[in-house]
């Protein structure tokens, strides 16, 4: 009797052996059932003929006969080949019912066994099959010898003649025997007919009758011959000695054969494995494999467990579990592995299954066990042993013997025993086979966990190269086998952790969310897991590599749970689901990320959360849910941090505790939140929060232009519900609550002014003049710029004691005094001298940055009391100086200079760099960029000036001082000499080829290329001067050639070429900004470069960050990754060089250099084959923003490459123009926090510019033919496109770029500049 649950669940019925109904599905194993016809001519002493329908011709007729209670019931069945079997539901049901009829009475069975029998078989491999027609079992193609060892139940014991050969010969055996139940018989004569591979023999003629003698010696001799042949096949072949030392190859004892599946059992197996057309709507894996080993691997197939839910809700998330784990879960004892037994039987009786594989399957499935876990271990040991057993491999056509000499071009079996590194772990080659379809294949074995995998020739070569490098670097390393320690591949997950795990809050990815974005979650502590009950038994110890997380206010459960507890107050369908959702997820760097938000200042930045939300691509209605998730996350994180300070706990042995509790170490390290806190009415509390969309939260800090709100204080909430607080109307104040530094808000403008205005008129309004002499002398004091926290640490105490940081107070007073003096002098003048005003502003800003840097050095060199937080004081000091910087620009600026100004710079000399026809990096990119900038308003008003001419003094500065610091002198001379040697009309000549002639195929130019490159650098230097000098807040340089692939010399970081680049504009600007003023620089202490080009800026990293220089932070988000470019520990690229045009299968230019971050000064973030909005947004939120805020730069330089656009011809991105605008906005917000909005953007890549000139007629086409060029639309650039500028390309490239008319490079620049201009106001309300 099955349980009620089994009656409802067909999968459980299949596992527990209940009768299953339903037709067989075509192509899903039904062709493995051999239709059989039995012609009954007599019931006693007459001939019975059986034939396989698979061996009959299409013209032959077979009859299916079953006998029930002595009655002959015949039904016609069409005889056909396996490819022409009728799979119609009606026909299959008829066949199935014929097999499932009840057996006859015993007396009829014995009577029908008497007489003379002629049996027709096809040759196959070893098996033991009951050919009794009453049992409904089909003779599964036995061979050569048939012996009857039972008086009532004839058995056929099969031996294959050539088990080693993969091309098995086909033969047909015709045997006729005459027998009675009381006698043992042997076959006296056997006829053998060879069958060609293509022909299907006709066995419709009557088989020849052979009299059988009653001789008892013949069976013994045949049996002895069979045993001898079997023992010979089971001899261990020669194999690699190192491989034999790793594995246990103990002999496998003999075991009873596995019973062949009946049709009902096959249907039961198909249902449990979800094979057949009925499952095709839910999975693509619904058919049997072609080979026996492939079907054995179905033990790992993911089984869908919520089919009923998917049938009613197609959009629901699939819930799956490996087949083996599901069988173990449903098993009631160690022998209740029905699904595994059925699968083993199916593989056991397949054609081609090696004899040794059958023995292993039979031994382990029949092996006595005492528990479910022990049976599961047997099953996995059987699969593992079959995968590497030399006998099985030999029977399956593999060679395990190492050849003395290389075999063929690839080496063949000569490579057996070679070591390699694959997927970061050590392996060894154990076998070789020459596959007719794939080619040469090598079977390899991971040494750590004895798992096998197959490699092709190029993959094996790559793995062996990695091993050679590993040996070179780790000569003294001791390789530990699996017997001494567990698999490192599992250990990598076991050792995984994230920063801040001790506070219990992370970002995690839910399997139930279609979007797959990281979401705030709480990791459950091991003490909470008891309430979950027994964990699912897993053969891979998955419980040790999984953690249980509670997602906070998830948005994805709203559709399924529209009647949630808070649905009445929900403002959208995304807020209707439960506020907390438990889920078990795998531990990896992809599923678990660090929670990036700090809780130090006690506030939540709603403005920053809104920026982060834009990258997620979710509907706007989901933002309240997103905000609530972070409100809860920050509240829990704050609680954990405070409790950890009050209640310091002694350290525990995390690994030992995790091993004892069978959990992941992160479940031990996480914070154990009290039960009372977890059961607080969070839904009610959040419902009382004001809607951020309907209100403006007052900013608590004057220089924060963002909207903030306080973090929920859960300690206070818990105290409020406890006596005596719950008895009183007022809450007893807690002395343990630490004081939060509060910044004193001071007015930025004069009392009679209307606030800080972005621009100033040339003449000062008389109403803004100062009427009081005291006010003239003291507009602001240091308390107007320094927070109360900073003042407490830098001002003398009330008793007059001098504190160690008095130098900071002196420096700040000096700055404020200078600012007061300059502002008063400037505003007292009725007629403004603009140039004098700009000079005074520049002097104040220089003094501000100088004092800031000097006092920072004093801060680190001064001995301070232990209770002083040096880093907090440093942070507040930097903010105070930046407030002075902002105030100076706002009060001394002008309508076209200072606050609210975004400058765009370019120079026509950059157009002198002329590349080859068909190159992506075309001269028209600058006119297109200028068009995009003008579309954003540049040049239409004074606050958005367009500068089209760079002074010669900046070209001199670049060539004489800055470029020698950026590139090696030899490199500069090489490029300059190469260019000067070109003819005046030369175009598209390689410029960066080395002495071997390599590296110049993509970086071509003309006689004016060097001048263009120097002009591009000079433009960047002028822009830095304008930003740091207060003439603009941010700027964009539309220049070419690009520069971020140009390093100190040729082939930076082993790149094959310079990737269209000659001189590195970004690196030159960074070095100019960070160099001391005594050396001609601007004296900034920290410069951050953010590169969002689709390629890694290997040249910039090579110049600025080849070693850790604390002045620079290089951040790059780009396409690539170790899974694409290969796994290497060193910078050597194996000669595997990639060009910008290379195919994804060969890696992404410039190679592996961008896959890792070598030191704290570099943050490389590879985003896979394509840069998508989700991946880029996640990296900006979780990695870039925290890193930049920690670095606290004084200038941010953007390598602005727009080649990650969805329509760019490189095809490596999926971003829209709006996405580039959002990235720009986020970077500007970072700059507003750290460096008063100082951002310099320099053009790098981006090639989605449609054709700008009519195409030339193809001379090779007939005159009367049309090449389609007339149908292509031209990009109209107007006067920005010089009349002399050409734009030659072939029709195919022009056609590829035609889609950029919809959105392309021009629109990307427009959004980029528009967002720079939208974030240039230092006086935001």
Q: Token pair for residue 431? A: 């076998």
Least confident of 249-258, 743-752, 866-875, 877-886: 743-752
Instruction: Give the pLDDT band of residue 799 (cuts 50, 70, 90).
Output: low
**Burial class of residue 482, CB neighbours in 10 A (0-12, 13-18, 19+):** middle
User: 3-state DSSP call for residue 335?
Assistant: coil
Whether this model's pTM surpasses 0.85:
no
Least confident of 582-596, 824-838, 897-911: 824-838
Preceding amide of 1150 cis, omega within 30: yes
Give residue 541's pLDDT: 39
Name the packing angle between helices 870-892 and 806-828 (round to 10°): 10
Among residues 1108, 1145, 1093, 1166, the alpha carbon closest in space to that of 1312 is found at 1093
Give residue 923's pLDDT: 92
Give residue 832's pLDDT: 60
Preceding amide of 130 cis, omega within 30: no
Task: Report the range out of 205-209, 773-777, 1162-1166 with the highest average pLDDT.
Answer: 1162-1166
Give residue 197's pLDDT: 39
Give 767's DSSP letter. G
| Long-range contacts (CB closer than 8 Å, 24 or more residues apart) made by 675-679 | 676/718, 677/639, 677/714, 677/718
Among residues 364, 456, 356, 473, the alpha carbon closest in space to that of 412 is found at 456
User: Would you give the distance in Å from CA 1084 to the centre of its chain?
Assistant: 37
Pairing, β 155-157 against β 71-78:
unpaired
CB-based contact 117:176 (threshold 8 Å): yes
State the Cα–Cα distance between residues 811 and 787, nearest whole angstrom: 15
Instruction: Give the pLDDT band of residue 649 (cuts 50, 70, 90).
Output: low
Sign of CA dihedral 1300, 1303, 1308, 1309: positive
Element (H, E) at 65: strand 61-68
678-703 pLDDT tens trace: 989 999 999 888 776 555 444 333 44
Average pLDDT for residues 1103-1112, to the nearest whole number? 93
Average pLDDT for residues 1191-1199, to the nearest whole number? 96
Give residue 621's pLDDT: 85
753-794 pLDDT tens trace: 333 333 333 332 333 333 344 444 568 888 889 998 898 888
Least confident of 762-766, 1090-1094, 1133-1137, 1283-1287: 762-766
Instruction: Give the pLDDT band of residue 1100 (cuts 50, 70, 90).
Output: very high
State the Cα–Cα distance between residues 892 and 771, nearest whole angstrom: 19
pLDDT for residue 926 is more than 90 = yes
Give residue 557's pLDDT: 81
Rg (CA), the chain: 40
**Residues 6 or more apart whose Cβ sits within 8 Å of residue 324:** 299, 300, 340, 376, 379, 380, 539
Cα angle value 351/240/354 (rounded, 5°): 10
Give residue 1030's pLDDT: 92
Q: Which residue has the tokens 């230019």?
A: 1149
90-137 pLDDT tens trace: 544 554 444 344 343 333 333 333 333 333 333 333 333 333 333 333
| Long-range contacts (CB closer than 8 Å, 24 or more residues apart) made by 139-143 | 139/34, 139/36, 139/50, 139/52, 140/34, 140/260, 140/349, 141/34, 141/52, 141/351, 142/173, 143/171, 143/173
Give residue 329's pLDDT: 87
CB-based contact 110:181 (threshold 8 Å): yes
Average pLDDT for residues 873-890, to the nearest whole number? 93
Element (H, E) at 219: helix 217-233
State the Cα–Cα distance between residues 235 and 337, nearest whole angstrom: 31
Query: From residue 927, how far is each of 94, 909, 924, 1000, 1039 by CA, in Å?
Result: 77, 12, 5, 26, 10
Give residue 254's pLDDT: 84
Give residue 804's pLDDT: 78
Q: Token pair for residue 1258? A: 């193809």
Strands (E), 1043-1136: 1087-1091, 1112-1118
Q: Token pair for residue 367? A: 């092996």
Q: Token pair for residue 1320? A: 């240039």
Q: Which residue has the tokens 């067909």?
A: 10
Average pLDDT for residues 141-159, to the nearest whole number? 36
Average pLDDT for residues 1282-1297, to the nearest whole number? 88
Pairing, β 1004-1005 against β 708-710:
unpaired
931-979 pLDDT tens trace: 999 999 999 999 999 999 999 999 999 999 999 999 999 999 999 999 9
CB-based contact 233:227 (threshold 8 Å): no
Instruction: Give the pLDDT band of residue 518 (cuts 50, 70, 90).
Output: confident
CB-based contact 1318:1225 (threshold 8 Å): yes
Q: Token pair for residue 893? A: 């600026």
18-53 pLDDT tens trace: 433 333 333 333 333 333 333 333 333 333 333 333
**Burial class of residue 268, CB neighbours in 10 A (0-12, 13-18, 19+):** buried
**Residues 6 or more apart whose Cβ sits within 8 Å of residue 606:** 627, 692, 697, 706, 707, 708, 709
Give residue 289's pLDDT: 87
State the Cα–Cα distance between residues 1105 and 176, nearest whole angstrom: 86
Pairing, β 708-710 against β 592-594:
unpaired
CB-based contact 629:552 (threshold 8 Å): yes
């Amino acid at each position: 009797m099955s349980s009620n649950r089994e009656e409802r669940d067909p999968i459980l019925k299949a596992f527990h052996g209940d009768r299953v109904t339903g037709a067989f599905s075509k192509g899903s194993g039904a062709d493995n059932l051999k239709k059989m016809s039995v012609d009954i001519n007599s019931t006693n002493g007459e001939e019975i003929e059986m034939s396989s329908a698979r061996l009959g011709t299409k013209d032959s007729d077979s009859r299916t006969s079953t006998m029930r209670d002595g009655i002959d019931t015949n039904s016609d069945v069409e005889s056909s080949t396996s490819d022409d079997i009728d799979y119609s539901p009606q026909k299959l049901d008829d066949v199935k019912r014929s097999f499932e009829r009840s057996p006859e009475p015993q007396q009829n069975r014995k009577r029908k066994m008497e007489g003379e029998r002629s049996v027709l078989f096809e040759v196959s491999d070893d098996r033991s099959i009951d050919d009794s027609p009453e049992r409904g079992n089909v003779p599964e193609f036995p061979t050569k010898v048939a012996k009857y060892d039972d008086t009532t139940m004839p058995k056929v014991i099969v031996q294959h003649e050539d088990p080693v050969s993969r091309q098995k010969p086909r033969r047909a055996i015709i045997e006729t025997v005459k027998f009675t139940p009381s006698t043992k018989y042997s076959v006296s004569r056997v006829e053998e007919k060879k069958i060609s591979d293509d022909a299907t023999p006709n066995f419709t003629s009557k088989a020849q009758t052979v009299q059988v003698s009653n001789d008892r010696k013949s069976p013994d001799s045949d049996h002895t011959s069979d045993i001898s042949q079997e023992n010979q096949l089971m001899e261990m072949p020669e194999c690699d000695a190192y491989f034999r030392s790793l594995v246990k190859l103990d002999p496998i004892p003999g075991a009873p054969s596995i019973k062949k599946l009946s049709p009902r059992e096959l249907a039961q197996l198909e249902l449990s494995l979800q094979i057949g057309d009925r499952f095709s709507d839910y999975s693509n894996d619904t058919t049997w494999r072609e080979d026996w080993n492939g079907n054995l691997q179905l033990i790992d197939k993911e089984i869908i467990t919520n089919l009923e839910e998917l049938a009613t809700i197609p959009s629901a998330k699939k819930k799956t579990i490996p087949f083996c784990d599901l069988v173990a879960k449903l098993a009631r004892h160690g022998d209740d592995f029905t699904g595994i037994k059925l699968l083993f039987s199916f593989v056991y009786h397949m054609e081609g299954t090696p004899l040794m594989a059958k023995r292993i399957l039979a031994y382990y499935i029949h092996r006595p066990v005492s528990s479910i876990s022990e049976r599961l271990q047997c099953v996995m040991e059987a699969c593992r042993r079959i995968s590497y057993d030399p006998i099985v491999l030999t029977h399956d056509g593999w060679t395990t013997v190492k050849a003395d000499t290389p075999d063929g071009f690839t080496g063949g079996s000569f490579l057996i025993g070679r070591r390699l590194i694959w997927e970061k772990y050590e392996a060894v080659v154990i076998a070789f086979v020459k596959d007719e379809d794939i080619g040469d294949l090598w079977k390899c074995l991971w040494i750590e966990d004895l798992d096998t995998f197959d490699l092709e020739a190029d993959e094996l070569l790559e793995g062996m190269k990695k091993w050679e490098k590993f040996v070179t670097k780790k000569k003294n390393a001791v390789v530990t086998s699996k017997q001494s320690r567990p698999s490192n591949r599992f250990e990598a997950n076991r050792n995984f952790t994230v920063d801040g795990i001790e506070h219990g809050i992370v970002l995690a990815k839910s399997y139930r969310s279609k979007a797959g974005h990281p979401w705030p979650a709480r990791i459950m502590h091991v003490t909470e897991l008891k309430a979950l009950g027994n964990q699912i038994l897993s053969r891979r110890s998955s419980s040790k590599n999984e953690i249980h997380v509670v997602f906070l206010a998830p948005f994805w459960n709203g559709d399924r749970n529209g009647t949630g507890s808070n649905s009445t107050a929900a403002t959208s369908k995304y807020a209707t689901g439960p506020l907390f959702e438990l889920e078990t997820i795998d531990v990896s760097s992809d599923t678990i990320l660090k929670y990036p938000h700090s809780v130090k200042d006690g506030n939540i930045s709603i403005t920053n959360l809104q920026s982060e939300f834009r990258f997620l691509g979710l509907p706007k209605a989901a933002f309240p849910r997103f905000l609530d998730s972070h409100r809860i996350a920050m509240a829990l994180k704050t609680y954990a941090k405070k409790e950890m300070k009050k209640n310091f706990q002694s350290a525990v042995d995390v690994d030992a505790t995790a091993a004892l509790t069978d959990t992941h170490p992160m479940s031990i390290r996480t914070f154990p939140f009290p039960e009372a806190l977890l059961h607080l009415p969070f839904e009610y509390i959040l419902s009382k929060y004001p809607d951020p969309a309907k209100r403006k939260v007052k900013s608590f800090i004057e220089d924060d232009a963002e909207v903030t709100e306080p973090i929920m204080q859960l300690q206070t909430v818990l105290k409020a519900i406890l006596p005596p607080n719950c008895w009183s109307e007022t809450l007893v104040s807690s002395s343990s609550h630490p004081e939060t530094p509060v910044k004193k808000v001071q007015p930025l403008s004069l009392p009679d002014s209307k606030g800080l205005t972005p621009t100033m008129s040339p003449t000062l309004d008389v109403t803004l003049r100062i009427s009081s002499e005291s006010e003239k002398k003291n507009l602001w004091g240091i308390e107007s710029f320094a927070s109360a926290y900073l003042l407490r640490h830098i001002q003398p105490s009330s008793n007059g004691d001098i504190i160690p940081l008095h130098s900071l107070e002196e420096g700040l007073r000096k700055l404020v005094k200078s600012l007061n003096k300059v502002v008063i002098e400037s505003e007292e003048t009725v007629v403004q001298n603009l140039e004098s005003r700009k000079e005074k502003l520049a002097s104040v800003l220089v003094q501000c940055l100088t004092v800031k840097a000097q006092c920072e050095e004093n801060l680190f060199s001064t001995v301070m009391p232990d209770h002083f937080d040096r880093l907090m004081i440093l942070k507040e000091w930097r903010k105070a100086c930046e407030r002075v910087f902002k105030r100076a620009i706002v009060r001394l600026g002008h309508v076209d200079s200072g606050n609210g100004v975004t400058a765009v710079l370019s120079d026509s000399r950059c157009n002198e760099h002329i590349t080859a026809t068909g190159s992506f990096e075309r001269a028209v990119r600058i006119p297109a960029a200028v068009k995009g900038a003008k579309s954003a308003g540049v040049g239409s008003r004074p606050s958005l000036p367009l500068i089209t001419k760079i002074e010669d003094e900046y070209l001199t500065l670049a060539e004489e001082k800055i470029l020698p610091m950026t590139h090696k002198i030899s490199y500069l001379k090489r490029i300059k000499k190469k260019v000067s040697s070109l003819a005046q009309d030369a175009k598209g000549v390689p410029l960066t080829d080395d002495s071997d002639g390599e590296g110049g195929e993509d970086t071509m130019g003309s006689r004016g290329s060097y001048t263009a490159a120097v002009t591009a650098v000079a433009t960047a230097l002028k822009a830095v001067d304008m930003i740091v000098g207060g003439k603009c807040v941010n700027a964009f340089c539309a220049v070419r050639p690009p520069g971020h692939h140009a390093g100190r010399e040729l082939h930076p970081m082993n790149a094959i070429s310079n990737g269209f680049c000659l001189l590195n504009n970004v690196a030159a600007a960074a070095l100019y900004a960070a160099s001391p003023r005594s050396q001609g620089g601007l004296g900034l202490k920290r410069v951050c470069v953010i590169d969002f080009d689709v390629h890694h800026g290997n040249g910039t990293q090579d110049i600025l960050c080849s070693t850790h220089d604390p002045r620079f932070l290089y951040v790059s988000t780009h396409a690539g990754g170790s899974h694409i470019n290969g796994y290497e520990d060193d910078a050597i690229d194996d000669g595997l060089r990639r060009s910008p045009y290379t195919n994804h299968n060969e890696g992404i230019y410039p190679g592996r250099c961008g896959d890792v971050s070598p030191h704290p000064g570099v943050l490389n973030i590879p985003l896979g084959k394509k840069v998508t909005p989700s991946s880029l947004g996640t990296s900006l939120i979780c990695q870039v923003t925290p890193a930049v805020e920690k670095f606290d730069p004084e200038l941010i330089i953007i390598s602005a490459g727009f080649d990650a656009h969805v329509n760019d011809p490189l095809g490596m991105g999926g971003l829209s123009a709006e996405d580039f605008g959002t990235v720009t906005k986020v970077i500007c917000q970072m700059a507003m926090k750290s460096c008063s909005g100082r951002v310099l953007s320099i053009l790098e890549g981006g090639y989605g510019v449609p054709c700008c000139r009519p195409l030339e007629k193809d001379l090779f086409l007939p005159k009367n033919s049309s090449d389609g060029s007339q149908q292509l639309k031209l990009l109209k650039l107007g006067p920005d496109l010089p009349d002399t500028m050409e734009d030659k390309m072939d029709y195919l490239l022009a056609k590829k770029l035609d889609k950029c008319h919809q959105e392309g490079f021009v629109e990307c620049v427009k959004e980029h500049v528009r967002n720079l201009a939208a974030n240039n106001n230092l006086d935001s309300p």
